[in-house]
Amino acid sequence: MMDWLLNLPVLWMSLVIFGGIYVATGVIYWVVKALAVGGRTAAFKGVSPGLLPPLGIIFGLFVAFVAAQVWNDVDRAKVAVNNEASALRAVVLLSDSFPGEPKTRLHTLVRRQITEAVTQEWPMMARHRATLTLAPPALVEALQVALALTARGDGEVVAQREMVLSLEKALDARRQRIMISQSSVNWVKCVGLLLQAACTLLAIAMVHIENRLTAGLAMALFATGVAISLILIASHARPFTGEMSVGPQWLLQVMPE
């Protein structure tokens, strides 16, 4: 699916998809109508109505196949962002065990990491341009600070160890987030879904060729179902793209003051 479509608000995306599907349905209807002359009319009438249920079932399986990937990607994206936020929140809380300059330094680094993630990484993920080439400097520095702390007493030893583990979890969650942002519905699945919908519409037009009003109504109903399915898939096709994308609100909620 094209980037410009996926970045549209859901309302405009719906108008584009409904318009495109209805235009394609009208073209199929008029092509079948134009071809239904002479001997071809009998050939079209010979298409069994029993063919429609299998075609509809196959289309439904296509939708379920594509939607399964989409929902899974969205769920994984939410989990990754939630894990990152939880890990950073733990760092902020554990840093209170080291009052003074270490605590202030760690709070500043966590704040910088969240700010960079929201202002830089999220727009790049939305455009499929975020990569793992460079490590996040704020998190790397925070990890170095945590490792360099001088722990006094068992409590600070435990806090330092847990802080290091939380920073490693934050790094891993960020990696997962960026990797998931590269996921999308590939063109083979999209083309297969659209071709199956076209085949079903074509069969409906042929089966009802004698009653063109019935054919038009049946095709319009099925086309509406196709459009709704495509809207649901397109609006969630990329976890960090579009109006229904996974946002950074959980990260913002754990930003230290």
Q: In a 10 Å sphere around its CB, with 0-12 CB exposed, 13-18 middle and 19+ buried, how is residue 122 labelled?
A: buried
Amino acid letter, residue 76? R
Contacts of 1 (CB under 8 A, 6+ apart): 184, 185, 190, 234, 237
Q: What is the mean pLDDT of residues 47-73?
A: 92
Question: Strand, helix or coil at 88?
Answer: helix
Q: Domain limits at 212?
A: 3-253
Residue 249 has pLDDT above 80, yes or no: yes
The pLDDT of residue 251 is 95
Is 70 exceeded by the pLDDT of residue 1?
Answer: no
| Max intra-chain CA distance, the chain | 95
Residue 224 has pLDDT above 80, yes or no: yes
- Which residue pairs from 216-219 have beta carbons closer than 8 angstroms and sit at least 24 positions apart in sequence? 216/29, 219/25, 219/28, 219/29
pLDDT band at 108 (very low <50, low <70, confident <90, very high): very high
The percentage of residues in the chain with a pLDDT greater than 70, rounded to a whole number, is 99
Q: Which of 219, 215, 205 is nearest to 47 (CA)?
A: 205
Q: What is the mean pLDDT of residues 76-98?
A: 95
Ramachandran class of 247: left when φ > 0, alpha when ψ lies in -120 to 50, beta otherwise:
beta
Contact 77, 239 (CB under 8 A): yes
Distance CA 216, CA 160 (A): 70
Q: Which pLDDT does position 178 carry in this prediction?
A: 95
pLDDT at 82 (0 to 100): 97
Rounded-to-integer distance, Cα 5 and Cα 242, Å? 9
Q: What is the pLDDT of residue 95?
A: 92
pLDDT given for residue 185 in this prediction: 86
- Look at residue 4 in the predicted model and tell me its pLDDT: 84
| pLDDT surpasses 60 at 120 | yes
Interval 162-172: pLDDT, tens: 999 999 999 99
Tell me, what's the pLDDT at 65?
A: 92
Number of domains making up the chain: 1
> Which pLDDT does position 53 carry in this prediction?
92
Phi first, then psi: give them for residue 101, nearest 5 degrees: -60, -40
Average pLDDT, the chain: 92
Residue 6: per-residue pLDDT = 86
pLDDT over 90 at 134, yes or no = no
Give 60-68's long-range contacts (Cβ < 8 A, gap of 24+). 62/189, 62/192, 62/193, 62/196, 63/193, 63/229, 63/233, 65/189, 66/185, 66/189, 66/190, 66/193, 66/233, 67/229, 67/232, 67/233
Expressed in percent and rounded to 5, the helix, strand and coil fractions of the chain are 80, 0, 20
Integer Cα distance of 29 and 202 in angstroms: 8
Mean pLDDT to the nearest integer, 83-102 = 94
